[in-house]
Every structure is written in structure tokens, then in C-alpha cells.
């Protein structure tokens, strides 16, 4: 028996389902989750010491690879000064200044401890600012596990096919309106049916929680126009896209201005960090400036701040990283397309920058419905084939893959070869 099987059996005795976050559970792909021991660069090493090429990157943040030396060194140095003060530090100002210098449309930014917390706080702020209750989100988008977002959500909620989450009250669910991704007319309809009631519209500008799904030309701009016209706060959830698609995230890459932006994961270089920020007129409603209350003992934690600051500074100083990442991901895309085409496989690959996903499908994947009509059982077989070949993909067709710049072209070739091997035998 390998160690992961034994550890999973043991974990289930004290941890619900044996995992601390459901998407790790392998419940939909089947089998036993792999328990990791360490990681370096592009590679993960499991409890038995087996090596995997990593395409999850801790769900995004490891843009420069795992255990990136400058980040580790900075943490080592900072942690000796204390793990938490519960009081302000100069480093928090440096972090805020760095983010404001990198990201368009952020005048003020508040640090929190996760992407969930960032999105939850942004929605409260939008409600406080507008005096309205309802929000619009998109089917298959995932903004963390706060009650308001667990309606037609992506990620684990989609993977486990949970239709309604027990514990989310009817009142909260009724205030969350949903539309299909890329369907501007559905949003127009909601807005006219709920005139003057909608506080915010929140979206993943490139969706990463139903596979990778790209906004169609004009979609995000159309939403911008609706929000401006109707006085709705336009929120970009850049937990995955922030600092990954470009130094200024999707706003910069796609040339769209949001009113509020949320961050997580990347902003802490893998430490538990999130943030929300945006226009001064809205952000100054937050306590202690205003009375929209939001707080956290660990917000701006020094160890987390130094990790994120070190990574973001590196990304700012070396914009060539984005070109290299794009080239590597394009190389992977071309290689996969070649072997899939040669073997007559029905597939769709969606990609923007270093976010990519492969769906076994003969129709375009543009929203949650089309993603769920792809051949999920085939993806599950593919996942296990790749895992057996030392390639660690997300354990669900409803997740984007993330590349790191630590990947070598030899790693990408190995991934393409393993895919060729799969399609020849299935
Ligand atoms: N949004 C991430 C995956 N889609 C979160 C990972 C998790 O839930 O553990």
C-alpha cells in the first residue's frame, strides 16, 4: 500500500472526508488523494517521494514555482521578528503601495486572509455603498464559500453537483441572481426585472472554476456599460487572474476597468492572504473611515505580507516573466492540439496567458452548461492516466490548469507525450 492510501484512511478518522478543502478529495475522479510532502520549482513530491509535474500551482499562486528561494529567504528573515502583531506595520504600507502601483483602478486596498474573505467583504461594501441588497453572479463562477456565492457555483460545488447548499438561507439565496457566463442579454433582463435593486455584479473576468472559460469579445465591456448605466458596483474577482495574466491582472490584459477588485492566493505567494480594493469613493465607506464594518486579527500578517511582497516585486521588476509563461503555455497548447488532432479526438482547449484547460467535447466551451455537457468520464480517465505518468492536473474537469515559469520545455514535452499515450489507448 502506498503512503497516501494509508494517510487518507487515517485522515478520514479526524478530518471530514479526510481533506481540509473538498476539491482535494478526488471524489469525482475517483481514487485516493495524493498526500504531498514537499515541492520545489515545477515539481511536487508525495509522501512516498514520487515526483509530479505540477499544473495546479496551489490553485494559482506559484507563478515562479514552489519554494521560490527569494520568497523562502524573506519569510525566514521576517518570521524571526514575530508571527503576528495585531498592530500596523510599515510593510503593510509597502505592500499596499506596490499593489496600487501595479494595478489599474485601485486607489485604496484592504488586506484580508483569503479570497473568500475578500469577495465576501467586497459584496458587503457594495451593498453598503449602494444601499441595495441584490447581487448578480454567473453560473459556474466561484467566489469562495461565503453564503451569497454558493448559488450555481463552480469549483467543488459543480464538481460534486451540489444543487442547493444546505445552511444557505432562502433569504440570502434570493438576493443572489444568476446569469449564464457570456450571456449579456440575460444580464440585461435581470437588471430590468430588478431595477434599482442590484448592488453589485461580480465576475471572474476569465473563469477558472468550470475549466478555463474566456469572456467573449465585448462581454466584459458590455457588463461595464450596464453597471455604469445602472449604478451597479462592477467587481472583478481576480483571485486567479490577478498578477497572473499581467502585472495588472485581467483589468490590464483585457483593458476593462472594474470598480472593485478582489485578490487571493497569488497576493500571498501561497501564504493565506487576500485583498479587496478599488475606487476611493467606494473604499472609503469601509471602517474606520466609514461604517461598513470589516476586520481581521491576521489581516496584513507580517509573514504573509513579506511572502506576497517579495513575489509581486519580482513580477513587477521582471515583466519578461509574463512573456515566458505565455510562450510556455502556448507551446503546451500547440503540442496537445497536435496529438489530439492526429488521433481524431473531439476536444476543446481554452487558454488565456498561463491559464488553460482541456475539455473532451465536440462543442465550444463558453459557459457552465457547455462545460458540463463535455465528456467528464473521459476527463477523469485522462486525469488518472496523467497522474500515473507523474503529471498532476486538477482532479476535476471544472478547474483551470495553472502553469509556473519553473516548468521546463522538457516538462511540457513529457506532458504532451503522456497525453499522446492516453489518446492512442482510449
Ligand atoms: N478556487 C479554488 C479551486 N477552484 C479553491 C481551491 C479549494 O477550494 O481548495
Q: How far is CA 187 from the centre of its chain?
A: 23
Residue whose CB lies within 8 A of the most ligand 1 atoms, among 155, 268, 397, for a mutation test? 155
Q: How far is the CA of 60 from the centre of ligand 1 (A)?
A: 9
Quote the pLDDT of residue 292.
98
| Candidates 1.10.10.10, 3.40.50.300, 3.40.50.2300, 3.90.1150.10; CATH matching 3-67+319-425 | 3.90.1150.10
Quote the pLDDT of residue 160.
86
Judge whether residue 323 has pLDDT over 90. yes
Q: How confident is the model at residue 151 (pLDDT cuts 50, 70, 90)?
A: confident
- For residue 21, give the ligand 1 atom closest to its CA: 9
Report the SS3 class of residue 273: coil
- Distance, CA of 165 to CA of 169 (rounded, Å): 9
Using only C-alpha atoms, the chain has a radius of gyration, in whole angstroms, of 21
**Burial of 363 per CB tally in 10 Å (0-12, 13-18, 19+):** exposed
In angstroms, what CA-CA distances link 11 with 15, 25, 31, 35, 53? 6, 11, 15, 10, 25
Between residues 163 and 124, the one the model is more confident about: 124
Quote the pLDDT of residue 164.
85
pTM of the prediction? Answer: 0.97
> H helices of 131-278, where?
156-159, 170-174, 184-193, 219-230, 249-254
Question: Residue 387: which H helix or E strand, with range?
Answer: helix 376-388
- Distance, CA of 16 to CA of 7 (rounded, Å): 14
Annotate 93-145 with DSSP letters as a single string.
HHHHHHHHHHSTT-SEEEEESSHHHHHHHHHHHHHHHHT--EEEEETT----S
The predicted-structure confidence for 166-219, as pLDDT tens digits, reads as follows 899 999 999 999 999 999 999 999 999 999 999 999 999 999 999 999 999 999
Cell of 114: 483569503
Judge whether residue 354 has pLDDT over 90. yes
Q: How far is the CA of 327 from the centre of ligand 1 (A)?
A: 26
Return the domain boundaries, the chain: 3-67+319-425, 69-317
- Distance, CA of 361 to CA of 210 (rounded, Å): 14
Q: How far is the CA of 115 from the centre of ligand 1 (A)?
A: 10
Ligand 1 contacts (CB < 6 A) are 21, 23, 59, 142, 155-156, 209, 399
**Residue partners of 62: CB distance under 8 A and separation at least 6:** 39, 54, 68, 270, 402, 404, 406
Long-range contacts at 375-380 (CB < 8 A, ≥ 24 apart):
375/346, 376/28, 378/426, 379/29, 380/28, 380/29, 380/30
**Average per-residue pLDDT for the chain:** 97
Quote the pLDDT of residue 365.
98
Architecture of domain 69-317: 3-Layer(aba) Sandwich (3.40)
DSSP state of 3: H
Residue whose CB lies within 8 A of the most ligand 1 atoms, among 156, 165, 270, for a mutation test? 156
What's the order of all strands across the beta sheet hosting 51-54?
36-40, 43-46, 51-54, 391-392
- For residue 142, give the ligand 1 atom closest to its CA: 1
Q: How far is the CA of 208 from the centre of ligand 1 (A)?
A: 10
Which residues are catalytically annotated? 142, 237, 265
For residues 262-276, average pLDDT: 96
Question: Residue 179: which H helix or E strand, with range?
Answer: strand 176-179
| Alpha carbon nearest to ligand 1 atom 2, residue | 59
| Alpha carbon nearest to ligand 1 atom 9, residue | 21
Percent of the chain predicted with pLDDT > 70: 100
Q: How far is the CA of 162 from the centre of ligand 1 (A)?
A: 15
Amino acid at each position: 500500500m502506498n503512503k497516501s492510501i494509508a494517510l487518507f484512511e487515517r485522515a478520514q478518522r479526524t478530518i471530514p472526508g479526510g481533506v481540509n478543502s473538498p476539491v482535494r478529495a478526488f471524489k469525482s475522479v475517483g481514487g485516493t488523494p495524493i498526500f504531498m510532502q514537499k515541492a520545489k520549482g515545477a515539481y511536487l513530491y508525495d509522501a512516498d517521494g514520487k515526483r509530479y509535474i505540477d499544473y495546479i500551482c496551489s490553485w494559482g499562486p506559484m507563478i515562479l514555482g514552489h519554494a521560490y528561494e527569494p520568497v523562502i529567504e524573506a519569510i525566514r528573515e521576517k518570521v524571526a521578528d514575530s508571527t503576528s502583531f495585531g498592530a500596523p506595520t510599515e510593510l503593510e504600507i509597502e505592500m499596499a503601495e506596490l499593489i496600487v502601483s501595479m494595478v489599474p483602478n485601485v486607489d485604496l486596498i484592504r488586506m484580508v486572509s483569503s479570497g473568500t474573505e475578500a469577495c465576501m467583504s467586497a459584496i458587503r461594501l457594495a451593498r453598503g455603498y449602494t444601499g441595495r441588497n441584490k447581487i448578480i453572479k454567473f453560473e459556474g463562477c466561484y467566489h469562495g464559500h461565503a453564503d451569497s456565492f454558493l448559488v450555481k457555483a463552480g469549483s467543488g460545488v459543480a464538481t460534486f453537483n451540489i444543487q442547493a447548499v444546505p445552511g444557505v438561507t432562502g433569504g440570502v439565496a434570493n438576493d443572489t441572481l444568476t446569469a449564464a457566463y457570456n450571456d449579456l442579454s440575460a444580464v440585461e433582463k435581470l437588471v430590468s426585472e430588478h431595477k434599482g435593486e442590484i448592488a453589485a455584479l461580480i465576475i471572474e473576468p476569465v473563469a477558472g472554476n468550470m475549466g478555463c472559460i474566456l469572456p467573449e469579445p465585448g462581454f466584459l465591456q458590455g457588463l461595464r456599460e450596464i453597471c455604469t448605466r445602472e449604478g451597479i458596483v462592477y467587481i472583478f474577482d481576480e483571485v486567479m487572474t490577478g498578477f497572473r495574466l499581467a502585472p495588472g491582472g485581467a483589468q490590464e490584459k483585457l483593458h476593462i476597468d472594474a470598480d472593485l477588485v478582489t485578490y487571493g492566493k497569488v497576493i500571498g505567494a501561497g501564504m493565506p492572504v487576500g485583498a479587496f480594493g478599488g475606487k476611493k469613493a467606494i473604499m472609503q465607506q469601509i471602517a474606520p473611515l466609514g461604517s461598513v464594518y470589516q476586520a481581521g486579527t491576521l489581516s496584513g500578517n507580517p509573514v504573509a505580507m513579506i511572502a506576497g511582497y517579495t513575489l509581486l516585486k519580482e513580477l513587477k521588476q521582471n515583466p519578461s516573466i509574463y512573456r515566458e509563461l505565455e510562450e510556455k503555455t502556448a507551446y503546451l497548447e500547440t503540442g496537445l492540439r497536435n496529438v489530439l488532432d492526429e488521433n481524431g479526438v473531439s476536444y476543446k482547449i481554452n487558454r488565456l496567458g498561463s491559464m488553460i484547460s482541456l475539455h473532451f467535447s465536440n462543442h465550444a466551451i463558453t459557459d457552465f452548461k457547455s462545460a458540463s455537457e463535455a465528456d467528464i468520464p473521459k476527463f477523469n480517465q485522462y486525469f488518472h492516466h496523467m497522474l500515473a505518468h507523474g503529471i498532476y492536473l486538477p482532479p476535476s474537469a471544472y478547474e483551470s490548469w495553472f502553469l509556473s515559469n519553473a516548468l521546463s520545455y522538457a516538462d511540457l514535452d513529457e506532458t504532451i507525450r503522456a497525453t499522446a499515450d492516453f489518446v492512442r489507448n482510449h
